[in-house]
Each structure stands twice: as structure tokens, then as C-alpha cells.
Amino acid sequence: MSDENEYLRIEEDIVAALRTVYDPEIPVNVYDLGLIYCVELTDDKFVTITMTLTAPNCPAADFILEDVRLKVEDVEGVTGVEIQLTFDPEWNKDMMSEEAMLELGFL
């Protein structure tokens, strides 16, 4: 497999892993909620994820961040994960995918 194909596979696998992480209070995964702002994959396959939460005082923050880190670390080929939490821009429901809006009754 070429390096480019391997990077594409890893990126797809990361998105698939992120779609298995849920806020315990919301029945939609963090990716479709729009909480993942950026996924960067370096040449040595280290992943930096810039993400937010639905609210700065989210009671499940530690659980969600740890779940993201563990699931992305489990992706074959990933050498490490760093999560950068930001509230700029602040999350709002317009960031959700259509599937998430449908699931939560916004459409």
C-alpha cells in the first residue's frame, strides 16, 4: 500500500472511530454533532485532534475526551494522540450533520 493510500485509510479509520464516541446525554456521536473541528495526521502518524464540547461545563467532558483519545489510539498505524480542547468558535447546533439534526428532531 502506498503512503498516500495508508494515510487515507488511517484518516477514514479515525473518522470511523470518532463516530463510535458519544456524549452520554446525547444519542449522536461527537463527529456528527460537529464537536470535531480538525484532525491532523503528521508524517509519523501522530494525530492531533482539535475539538470542543456542547458546553464548557459539560459534566461528561473527561469521559468524552478520554474515549476520543483511546479510540483514536486504537486505530491501526496511529503512533499517538493529542487532544486540544477549544471553545473558539463556541459549538452551536448549526455545526451538526444533517443526520444528527434528524436524529435529534431539528429537521
What are the DSSP calls for 29-57, one per residue?
Answer: BHHHHT-EEEEEE-TT-EEEEEE--SSTT
Give the pLDDT confidence of 42-95 residue by residue, as tens digits: 999 999 999 999 999 989 999 999 999 999 999 999 999 999 999 999 999 999
Q: Is residue 64 part of a domain?
A: yes
Let me know if residue 8 belongs to a domain.
Answer: yes
| Domains held by the chain: number | 1
Q: Which residues are registered as beta bridge partners of 29?
A: 22
Helices (H), 1-107: 3-18, 30-33, 61-73, 98-103
Residues spanned by the domain of 68: 2-88
3-state secondary structure of 95: helix
pTM above 0.85, yes or no: yes
Is residue 6 one of the residues assigned to a domain?
Answer: yes
Q: What is the CATH number of the domain that holds 82?
A: 3.30.300.130
Beta carbons within 10 angstroms of residue 20's beta carbon? 13
